[in-house]
Amino acid sequence: MRVLGVDPGLTRCGVGVVEGVAGRPLTMRGVGVVRTPADAELGPRLVAIERGIEQWLDEHRPEFVAVERVFSQHNVRTVMGTAQASAVAMLCAARRGIPVALHTPSEVKAAVTGSGRADKAQVGAMVTRLLRLDAPPKPADAADALALAICHIWRAPAKNRLQQAVQQQAALQASKGRSA
């Protein structure tokens, strides 16, 4: 199973690709950050994020995309940008019929460290160990994207298969709609 994890953000959107199955050693296929300038207009920033995500999808052909679920109890301004960046990532995946899964930050932390309240350093350390890397990926957004992908591989494989079937059906109907 190849999963693209996306830690959404307008200024830094973390992306990481992990391959493997639950119960076996995992392999990192790529990690990076899609950046957009904070002083640019919102529209062109969303276009730049779309282009970045499309490149990652083209290059790595993931079977699943795992995106961090956005909550609005945090900083209002940041949360809006995060929701908008996550919408672009979900749109890019869904257009290709790739199933999108959302995982909360605490689900991701619990999956890779055993605690839903682990800090960034702990998540970075476990990602480094689980993927047998030489050092924690920087910035933290990149490490978080890998943690999301690992979380997705480890959580409910049966649920993934069901969701994949449902979304492929939806994509099929969408493409029928387009050609009609």
Place of tokens 């160990």: 129
Q: Which of 27, 72, 106, 115 binds a second copy (CB under 8 A)?
A: 72
Q: Is 162 in the site for a second copy (CB under 8 A)?
A: no
Binding pattern to a second copy, positions 27-46, x when CB under 8 A?
-------------xxxxx-x
Give, for 13, the enclosing helix (H) or strand (E). Answer: strand 12-19
Residue 88 in contact with a second copy, rule: CB under 8 A? yes
Among this protein's residues, is 7 annotated catalytic? yes
3-state secondary structure 96-128: CCCCEEEECHHHHHHHHHCCCCCCHHHHHHHHH
Query: Could you tell me which residues are beta bridge partners of residue 93?
Result: none
Burial class of residue 50, CB neighbours in 10 A (0-12, 13-18, 19+): middle
Q: Residues with catalytic annotation?
A: 7, 68, 141
Binding annotation for Mg(2+): 7, 68, 141
Q: Would you tell me which residues interact with a second copy (CB under 8 A)?
A: 40-44, 46-48, 50-51, 70-73, 76, 79-80, 83-88, 90-91, 93-95, 99-100, 102, 163, 166-167, 170-171, 174, 177-178
